Amino acid sequence: QITLKESGPTLMKPTQTLTLTCAFSGFSLTTSGEGVGWIRQPPGKALEWLAVAYWNGDRRYNPSLRSRLTITKDTSINQVVLTLTNMDPVDTATYYCAHRRVYFDIVGLFDHWGEGSLVTVSS
C-alpha cells in the first residue's frame, strides 16, 4: 500500500525559502521505475506540476519555476524534499507530493497522492 504525507511550514513571509518534506511508504526510490513528484494548487485554482525525482537520481522541473526549485531524495529514510526560493504571495497553495510510476524520460503516471500541505505566503 503506497502512502505519502507532506509536511512543512504553513505560513511564510515573502522572500523566504520554502522547504517541504514528503515522507512515503509502500515503495522504494531505489527501485527502477519509481519516482516522487510535487504538484501545487492555489486556492480555488487548477493544478500545476512542479518537479519529479527519479529512482536513478534524475530530476525534472517545470521550466517556468526551474530557477527557484530544487528536489532531492533521501532513500535511506524514504523522503523527498522540495525547496522553493524567494516565496511570494502568488506561491500560496496546497502542495501535494505524489508517487510517479515512471515509464521512461518524463513519461509516467501520478497514481497515488498525499493529502497536501497548505502554505500561505503573507507579509
Partner 1 sequence: DVVLTQTPFSLSVTPGQPASISCKSSQSVLHSDGKTHLSWYLQKPGQSPKLLIYEVSSRFSGVPDRFSGSGSGTDFTLKITRVEAEDVGVYYCMQDAYSPLTFGGGTKVDIK
Q: Which residues bind partner 1 (CB under 8 A)?
A: 46-49, 60, 62-64, 96, 103-104, 106-116
Q: Which is nearer to partner 1, 48 or 81 (CB)?
A: 48
Q: Which is nearer to partner 1, 31 or 45 (CB)?
A: 45
C-beta of 98: minimal distance to partner 1 in Å?
8
Grid coordinates representing 80?
Answer: 523527498
d(CA 34, CA 99): 8
C-beta of 40: minimal distance to partner 1 in Å?
11
User: Nearest-CA neighbor of 65 among 39, 43, 44, 29?
Assistant: 39
Sole residue written with cell 517545470: 62
Q: Which is nearer to partner 1, 57 or 63 (CB)?
A: 63
d(CA 29, CA 31): 5
- Residue type, position 27, single letter: F
C-beta of 30: minimal distance to partner 1 in Å?
23
